[in-house]
Amino acid sequence: ANVDEAVAKLKSKGIDAYGIVCHVSNAQHRRNLVEKTVQKYGKIDIVVCNAAANPSTDPILSSKEAVLDKLWEINVKSSILLLQ
């Protein structure tokens, strides 16, 4: 619903927009994002990887391993995998 709402707002301003739900840590979502984008536009010229998560407000040196895993998974690894 959030994606549809954002696309509708952009289109109402005359902006060509296409929205796809993608949880970047999900391999199938990433594949779907790339495949549907290429189907719609024929190619991808630019990728902006701006998905990020921060599940904690603790100082980084006090962060639990699960928090560090989440930071790595979403903020770093998913961008590399998407570009691959």
Which one-letter DSSP state was computed for residue 78?
H
Residue 54 CA from chain centroid, whole number: 14
pLDDT string in tens for the chain (84-residue length):
999 999 999 999 999 999 999 999 999 999 999 999 999 999 999 999 988 998 899 998 999 999 999 999 999 999 999 999
pTM metric for this prediction: 0.80
CATH code for the structural domain at 1-82: 3.40.50.720
Domain spans in the chain, listed from the N-terminal domain onward = 1-82
**Separation between Cα atoms, residue 76 and residue 3, nearest integer Å:** 23
Q: How far is CA 41 from CA 34, 53, 75, in A?
A: 10, 29, 26
